[in-house]
A and B are shown apart, each in its own frame.
Chain A
Amino acid sequence: AQSVAQPEDQVKVAEGNPLTVKCTYSVSGNPYLFWYVQYPNRGLQFLLKYITGDNLVKGSYGFEAEFNKSQTSFHLKKPSALVSDSALYFCAVRWGGGGNKLTFGTGTQLKVEL
């Protein structure tokens, strides 16, 4: 079975500083990895995905993520955080044997402070 771990419930950074939100995964076979962001009382917005190819994936709003197969990680990064980036971030994995289903991590609350 596939699983996703987001080890940090909350991440705090100062505006202008780089941010990292961690994600590790466990699947059989090749993973398809996604990051989503959720603002209060809203659905999830797609940020980026890794399917194949370059390990560094660039997405919306200046976010990027690096796929690391040996460490089974897919950490989300941004070089310079904004207060408006404060939200709940979810990592998700889809695997070839699971059809279209996504398995989500538990989410990481990002707080960017002035």
Chain B
Amino acid sequence: GAVVSQHPSRVICKSGTSVKIECRSLDFQATTMFWYRQFPKQSLMLMATSNEGSKATYEQGVEKDKFLINHASLTLSTLTVTSAHPEDSSFYICSARDGAGEVQPQHFGDGTRLSIL
């Protein structure tokens, strides 16, 4: 089945640090990837849709200068949390959609636990 690899799985760093999270589709090409944020005991909140070769589409209320997304290839999207602060601490999850045509499910990475001290 389709596999999405997300790295790193956990990051602990000081306030003011920028953190980059990678999301790779291992056995399929993903023209579209998604970045979500999940708070404890809550649902997933879509942050942005990442399209290969073009600018990401951000959801309302998500700062695009804070959360930089780059989707440079059909198998890799990155999310950079710039100048992270404690309120950015969260569980970040990426997903990728395999193919077009019939509606395909999104396949999710295992998430990145970000803790800003």
- A residues near B (Cβ < 8 Å) are 32, 34, 36, 41-46, 49, 51, 90, 94, 99-102, 104-107
Closest chain B residue to A36 by CB distance? B108
A46→B105 contact, CB < 8 A: yes
Known pairs A44-B93, A100-B97; A106 contacts B103 (CB<8 A): no
B32 contacts chain A at the CB level, 8 A cutoff: yes
Contacts of A105 in B (CB 8 A): 43
CB distance from A62 to the nearest CB of B (A): 17
A100 to B98, CA, bound (A): 11
B113 contacts chain A at the CB level, 8 A cutoff: yes
B103→A102 contact, CB < 8 A: no
Cross-chain contact of A106 among B43, B91, B95, B111 (Cβ < 8 A): B43
Contacts of B111 in A (CB 8 A): 41-43
Contacts of A107 in B (CB 8 A): 42-43
CB distance from A93 to the nearest CB of B (A): 11
Q: List 29 A-B contacts (CB under 8 A).
A: A34-B105, A41-B91, A41-B111, A41-B113, A42-B111, A43-B4, A43-B108, A44-B95, A44-B108, A45-B108, A46-B106, A49-B105, A51-B102, A51-B103, A90-B43, A94-B103, A99-B49, A100-B32, A100-B34, A100-B97, A101-B34, A101-B46, A101-B49, A102-B34, A102-B46, A105-B43, A106-B42, A106-B43, A107-B42
A46 to B98, CA, bound (A): 13
Contact with A along B80-117 (1 / 0, CB 8 A): 00000000000101010100001101111111010000
CB distance from B16 to the nearest CB of A (A): 26
A46 to B107, CA, bound (A): 7
A89 to B102, CA, bound (A): 24
CB distance from B105 to the nearest CB of A (A): 4
Most buried by A among B102, B103, B107: B103
